[in-house]
Amino acid sequence: MEQTVLQPLPRQRKKPFYKVLYVQVLVAIVVGALLGWLSPTIATNPWVKAMGDGFIRLIKMVITPIIFCTVVSGIAHVQDAKKVGRIGVKALVYFEVVSTFALLIGLTVANLLRPGANFGGKAPDAAAVAQFAKQASEMKSVDFMLNIIPESVVGGFAKGDILQVLLFAILFGFALMALGEKGKALRNLIDDTAKGVFGVIAIIMKAAPVGAFGAMAYTVGKFGPQALGNLLGLIATFYLTSALFVVVILGLIARFIGFNIFRFLGYIKDELLIVLGTSSSESALPQLMAKLENMGCPKPVVGLVVPTGYSFNLDGTNIYMTLAALFIAQAMGFNLTLHDQLAIIVVAMLTSKGATGVTGAGFVTLAATLAVVNPVLVPGMAIVLGIDKFMSECRALVNITGNGVATVFVSWWEGDLDRTKLQLCLGGKPVVPIVENPAMVAE
């Protein structure tokens, strides 16, 4: 019987620090921020903005094929169809429980620190948020559910709609599973295609510092330090709350499974810095999936949990919604009752799913939540409109971290987490599969 033994790779010569990706990205973020501050005219040039936008588009270009190949391959290699459904149910249960904690922690901090009290900002301008309120009013649960079903398979790939591609990939994976040995050649082709697409990702990632520089320079150049004003308290409170959630809530989950949250953050530091520079958690999705597989999470779990989590497990967005909602109410002088605050949690739990794929999803979701709880508060969104971009980076960082921990947790819950790989990877030691038969390749 074939056995796989994991052994550390021989000690390799370290790269010069200037060739390490996360160092390059970090330097690019700092230089971009300095350019935006010192020369906003140059920083807001369309070509500078295009650096960040172009990098994100390059990543989005390969997200759908990566998800399709990963999900199809993961399901097709599983012999028990019930296992795939079980993974999906466990993932959704985890998402709802942890999302509730994210909403509650945002609500608790807002009540304790009251960052919007005695706010001295300008009066809200309803026109400034009219487009977001319009988008929010158009979000319907029925439309959201129907939108998961693509009008055509090609359309889902062309639009880059993750949920549509995920649905087709799940169905295709089950169909391929049913073919048994007849589908072996097609399974191998999909596996090889995935390797090719990950090769494309490796090439694109070399441009990550350029993308991070452009995105950060444009953001700081357009909004500038003067856009912060009296709102620095809200930004600081949001970052503090997010850090608290990652360290305490996700940290306890990680400890329960058997790993350290800080080691995990160190393991995905490249992806976190890319997200920080681009303000998009999608920009690191393919890299995150590859790293989670490498650290011991089985392919079916990674293929189902990560893409689903990008729509149903938005921890950073949930924290932002409750915190921003109470900040606006406090700034406008409204005293929200306990019933109103509980309503925010219930409504936000639903609207955070409905805004998936909408431009400025966090802000649109906030508009939808306020419209249901108290429509009078919607114009108050103009108060936080100017600084929303400064908080989007933090939302994306928490979202990607939460999805990574969720994948490890579901793998553990399934009993399929490879603890040897987990400990070796989080200890900074890469692993290589060693098999008894050299002709065989461990999957």
Tokens 């709802």 belong to which residue? 96
* Residue 239 vs residue 134, higher pLDDT: 239
* Residue 14 vs residue 83, higher pLDDT: 83
Please give the C-alpha separations between residue 99 and each of 32, 141, 192, 352, 365, in angstroms, as whole numbers: 33, 18, 36, 10, 14
* Residue 375 vs residue 134, higher pLDDT: 375
Three-state secondary-structure class, residue 39 = coil
Confidence of residue 431 (pLDDT cuts 50, 70, 90): very low
Lowest mean pLDDT among 74-88, 135-149, 396-410: 135-149
For position 4, what pLDDT does the model report? Answer: 44
- Highest mean predicted confidence (pLDDT) among 23-27, 242-246, 321-325, 349-353: 242-246
Given a cut of 70, is residue 299 above it in pLDDT?
Answer: yes
- Token readout for 28 is 């690019």
For position 225, what pLDDT does the model report? Answer: 59
Query: β-pairing, 4-8 with 431-435?
Result: antiparallel
Q: Which CATH superfamily is domain 22-429 in?
A: Sodium:dicarboxylate symporter (1.10.3860.10)
Q: Average per-residue pLDDT in the chain?
A: 77
As a whole number, mean pLDDT of residues 144-161 equals 78
For position 5, what pLDDT does the model report? Answer: 46
* Residue 280 vs residue 175, higher pLDDT: 175
Closest to 211 measured CA to CA, from 65, 49, 382 = 49
Given a cut of 60, is residue 298 above it in pLDDT?
Answer: yes
Which own/partner pairs from 114-117 qualify as long-range (CB within 8 Å, at least 24 positions apart)? 114/330, 115/233, 115/234, 115/237, 115/323, 115/327, 115/330, 116/234, 116/326, 116/327, 116/328, 116/329, 116/330, 116/331, 117/330
For position 252, what pLDDT does the model report? Answer: 95
As a whole number, mean pLDDT of residues 51-66 equals 81
**Is residue 377 classed exposed, middle or buried when 0-12, 13-18 and 19+ CB atoms within 10 A define those classes?**
buried
Domain coordinates of the chain in residue numbers? 22-429
Given a cut of 50, is residue 180 above it in pLDDT?
Answer: yes
CA 394: distance to chain centroid? 11
* Residue 271 vs residue 121, higher pLDDT: 271
As a whole number, mean pLDDT of residues 261-289 equals 84
As a whole number, mean pLDDT of residues 377-383 equals 73
Given a cut of 80, is residue 411 above it in pLDDT?
Answer: yes
Three-state secondary-structure class, residue 379 = helix
For position 407, what pLDDT does the model report? Answer: 94
For position 405, what pLDDT does the model report? Answer: 95
Percent of the chain with pLDDT over 90: 13
Percent of the chain with pLDDT over 70: 78
Q: What confidence tens digit (pLDDT) does each residue in 218-247 have?
A: 877 876 655 555 567 788 889 999 999 999
For position 1, what pLDDT does the model report? Answer: 39
Which own/partner pairs from 230-236 qualify as long-range (CB within 8 Å, at least 24 positions apart)? 230/119, 230/120, 230/121, 231/121, 231/383, 231/384, 231/386, 231/387, 233/115, 234/115, 234/116, 234/323, 234/324, 234/327, 234/384, 234/387, 234/391, 235/387, 235/390, 235/391
Confidence of residue 412 (pLDDT cuts 50, 70, 90): very high
Write the DSSP assignment of 158-199 as a string of letters.
HHT-HHHHHHHHHHHHHHHHHHGGGGHHHHHHHHHHHHHHHH
For position 94, what pLDDT does the model report? Answer: 94
